[in-house]
């Protein structure tokens, strides 16, 4: 069972399932809207009709007596200044601020602004905890419409160090609910401003993970009921300073996020202890979370654009490492080769930032995914040509198999190799000459890695147009054989499809609907599917066509229906079961309305669905479902949608395009539109 990480961190925003803003809309480095001068308001007429909010901190200061001030501007999506009180422009804008600094010799923020949090579970006698928090009770001064100075109620200690990096964070939320247009994602903006009070240049910052890295999957990141959209703001509160009073668990970002993304894979969870946080009167349980790729892919989140992106390998610590490996007792050495570590001073002695070999004790080496090991020989397949490919004849396929260094591979000595034939390319296994077969060519003799294999299956009579041949190959390899860390890995070739004509017409590829590149943005690779041999979306479609049905549940495994249903997961009305796996428990980390997350170009539009083949109906409402309805019902699997689709299908076919094609009132683009 694979369950995907929910888009909204439940500990932060328990009720949010889907996110509805572009990743770039709220990222400081990507803002294109500059603060507009008050004169642009032109009597407020233009601003009254605009939505959105962009907050920008212009300056900040800490006076000698510890008084903290910040000047911030707020504008709408088109750059017109906003009235904070909602008089001169629609909707009041609330702004909350936090003030922090980075102590000398340290790397994380410490907040000047704090609160005392008491346990809220009835009967809990844990002591209250002082936590980082927003300032409360400060005063605003209006410099001009859209231009405000906030004076914190909290003061820095008189002994504060004016030579250290300080930071002010702000979350601005515009409330347009009175006008019926409020959307918490488009009406929220964050900003963080780093400065040194004595005027010196900022030399020390905190940037281990960026918002853009999170938004590869989360589309976009959101927390605390919509008030937090950037990691840069999150890390100002989520420091070792913040402890949950009910669970006594740290809310430090490096621990919290590692544990959430590990979820069901945490040793503690496997041992029976759930990982959950009591927040705002309810439990947020992360024990069923499954990260949509291998958790050893540290650089998925620790991307190079972050200033301290290499922290994951250069600064090992009990807190960071123990957040995933939470069965290690650093005090006693249990599950740590019996080596006790009272502090982090010796970590780097063994856990170096540079690997000598895969799977060694270095941080990068210990996180090597065996199937990605650079020491694997690497299988590379290529279809050179297809002969005798006419109806009624068995095609002869000439192909090569080499390793990544160009050395020929003996296919009789590898674990598996298949020649796959599918067609027609209008939509596999549907229409004239439909075929999908897989054959084993491993006993074919070859010369210098080149093999000529004549298939036992023939191109069906009546076949026309284009067909596809591909090679799928993999081999089991033992890494570091003879050592105590010997590990078995799968060395799989990336399948490459070869398109050919059976009737002398020009060979045409099967239409591309989704791309491997879009899938790997979240999954890193698709190697978890079918032993790694079908690590490409165009390969998937050869088998996952309208005719494919699960042998156990009899539900459709047509790719459009299958992938929509799996990613819709817990929001499905009816269970989607393949074999014994119920995908109704899957959590999608992004916004399902954003079709282009997976789709290429306009391939998601109803007018671009392709061949008109019937699909086996997994919902049980009808015996079969036509293609457009099938794609839509993969997500919208309720009986009302099925009835709507059925009522708009006649002997002439589906009438979906009449209302849902591009430009129509209920086009796919419009019904999936997100407010920005």
Do residues 412 and 427 lie in contact, with contact meaning Cβ atoms separated by under 8 Å?
Answer: no
Any idea what the Cα angle at residue 607 is, between residues 540 and 514, rounded to 5°?
Answer: 25
> What pLDDT band is residue 618 in, cutting at 50, 70 and 90?
low
Identify the pLDDT of residue 528.
85
Residue with tokens 């820095």: 156
Identify the pLDDT of residue 389.
97
Q: How many CB atoms lie within 10 A of CB 538?
A: 20
Considering the entire predicted model, what is its pTM? 0.87
Identify the pLDDT of residue 183.
57
Tokens of 546: 């309208």
CA distance 423 to 547: 12
Tokens of 344: 């982090």
Model confidence at 65: pLDDT above 50: yes
CA distance 144 to 35: 12
Give the residue-averaged pLDDT of 135-160: 97
CA distance 513 to 598: 8
Model confidence at 138: pLDDT above 90: yes
CA distance 538 to 545: 11
Tokens of 153: 């109620």
Between 464 and 178, where is the model more confident?
Answer: 464
Tokens of 41: 């308001």
> What pLDDT band is residue 185 in, cutting at 50, 70 and 90?
low
Domains of the chain, each with CATH number or no CATH? 23-246 (no CATH), 379-542 (2.60.40.1930), 546-671 (no CATH)
Give the residue-averaged pLDDT of 156-176: 97
Of the listed ranges 117-131, 318-332, 574-588, 620-634, the least confidently predicted one is: 620-634
Model confidence at 233: pLDDT above 50: yes
Do residues 111 and 241 lie in contact, with contact meaning Cβ atoms separated by under 8 Å?
Answer: yes
Q: What percent of the chain has pLDDT over 90?
A: 79
Give the residue-averaged pLDDT of 436-447: 97
> What pLDDT band is residue 516 in, cutting at 50, 70 and 90?
very high
Give the residue-averaged pLDDT of 104-114: 97
Model confidence at 294: pLDDT above 90: yes
Model confidence at 674: pLDDT above 80: no
Between 131 and 34, where is the model more confident?
Answer: 131
CA distances from 224 to 12, 47, 131, 363, 511 (A): 4, 28, 15, 33, 42
Model confidence at 608: pLDDT above 90: no
CA distance 329 to 85: 53
Identify the pLDDT of residue 609.
81
CA distances from 207 to 56, 111, 210, 368 (A): 19, 17, 7, 24
The per-residue pLDDT for range 632-656, each reduced to its tens digit, is 999 999 999 999 999 999 998 999 9
> What pLDDT band is residue 7 in, cutting at 50, 70 and 90?
very low
Tokens of 135: 């300032």
Instruction: Give me the residues paired with residue 578 across strands.
Output: 581
Give the residue-averaged pLDDT of 215-240: 92
Model confidence at 420: pLDDT above 60: yes
């Amino acid at each position: 069972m694979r369950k995907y990480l929910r888009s909204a961190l439940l500990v932060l925003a328990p009720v949010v399932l889907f996110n509805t803003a572009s990743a770039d809309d709220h990222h400081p480095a990507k803002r294109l809207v500059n603060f507009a001068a008050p004169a642009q308001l032109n009597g407020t007429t233009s601003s009254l009709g605009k939505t959105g909010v962009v907050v920008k901190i212009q300056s900040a200061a800490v006076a000698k007596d510890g008084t903290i001030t910040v000047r911030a501007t707020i504008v709408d999506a088109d750059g017109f200044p906003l009235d904070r009180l909602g008089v001169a422009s629609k909707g009041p804008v609330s702004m909350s601020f936090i003030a922090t600094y980075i102590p000398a010799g340290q790397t994380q923020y410490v907040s000047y602004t704090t609160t005392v949090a008491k346990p809220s579970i009835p009967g809990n006698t844990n002591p209250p905890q002082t936590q980082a928090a927003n300032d409360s009770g400060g005063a605003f001064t209006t410099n001009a419409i859209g231009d405000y100075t906030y004076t914190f109620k909290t003061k820095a200690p008189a002994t504060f160090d004016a030579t250290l990096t300080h930071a002010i964070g702000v979350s601005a939320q515009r409330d347009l609910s009175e006008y019926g247009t409020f959307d918490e994602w488009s009406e929220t903006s964050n900003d963080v401003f780093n400065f040194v009070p004595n005027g010196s240049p900022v030399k020390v910052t905190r940037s281990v993970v960026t918002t853009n890295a999170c938004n590869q999957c989360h589309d976009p990141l959101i927390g605390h009921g919509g008030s937090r959209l950037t990691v840069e703001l999150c890390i100002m509160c989520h420091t070792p300073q913040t402890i949950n009073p009910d669970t006594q668990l740290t809310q430090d970002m490096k621990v919290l996020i590692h544990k959430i993304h590990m979820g069901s894979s945490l040793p503690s969870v496997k041992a029976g202890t759930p990982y959950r946080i009591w927040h705002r009167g309810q439990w947020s349980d992360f024990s069923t979370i499954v990260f949509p790729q291998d958790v050893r892919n540290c650089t998925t989140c620790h991307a190079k654009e972050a200033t301290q992106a290499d922290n994951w390998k250069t600064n090992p610590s009990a807190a960071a490492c123990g957040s995933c490996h939470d069965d290690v007792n650093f005090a006693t050495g249990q599950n740590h080769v019996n080596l006790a570590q009272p502090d982090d001073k010796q970590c780097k002695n063994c856990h170096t930032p540079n690997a000598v070999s895969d799977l060694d004790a270095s941080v990068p080496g210990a996180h090597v995914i065996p199937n990605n090991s650079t020491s694997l020989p690497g299988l590379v397949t290529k279809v050179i040509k297809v002969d005798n490919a006419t109806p009624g004849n068995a095609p002869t396929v000439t192909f090569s198999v080499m390793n990544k260094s160009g050395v020929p591979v003996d296919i009789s000595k590898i674990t598996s190799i298949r020649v796959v034939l599918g067609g027609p390319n209008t939509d596999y296994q549907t229409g004239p000459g439909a075929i999908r077969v897989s054959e084993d060519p491993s006993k074919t003799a070859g010369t210098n890695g080149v093999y000529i294999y004549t298939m036992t299956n023939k191109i069906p009579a009546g076949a026309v147009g284009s067909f596809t041949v591909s090679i799928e190959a993999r081999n089991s390899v033992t890494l570091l054989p003879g050592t105590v860390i010997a590990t078995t890995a799968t060395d799989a070739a990336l399948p490459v499809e070869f398109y050919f004509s059976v009737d002398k017409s020009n060979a045409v590829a099967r239409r591309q609907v989704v791309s491997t590149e879009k899938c790997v943005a979240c999954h890193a690779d698709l190697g978890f599917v079918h032993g790694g041999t079908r690590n490409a979306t165009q390969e998937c479609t050869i088998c996952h066509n309208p005719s494919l049905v699960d042998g156990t549940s009899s539900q459709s495994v047509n790719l459009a229906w299958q992938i929509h249903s799996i990613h819709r997961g817990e929001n499905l009305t009816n269970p989607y079961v393949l074999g014994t796996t119920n995908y109704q428990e899957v959590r999608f980390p992004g916004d399902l309305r954003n079709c282009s997350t997976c789709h290429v170009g306009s391939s998601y539009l109803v007018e671009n669905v392709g061949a008109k083949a019937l699909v086996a109906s997994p919902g049980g409402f009808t015996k079969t479902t036509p293609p457009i309805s099938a794609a839509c019902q993969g997500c919208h699997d309720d009986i009302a949608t099925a009835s709507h689709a059925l009522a708009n299908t006649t002997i002439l076919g589906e009438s979906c395009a009449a209302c849902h094609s591009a430009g129509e009132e209920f086009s796919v683009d419009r019904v999936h539109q997100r407010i920005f």
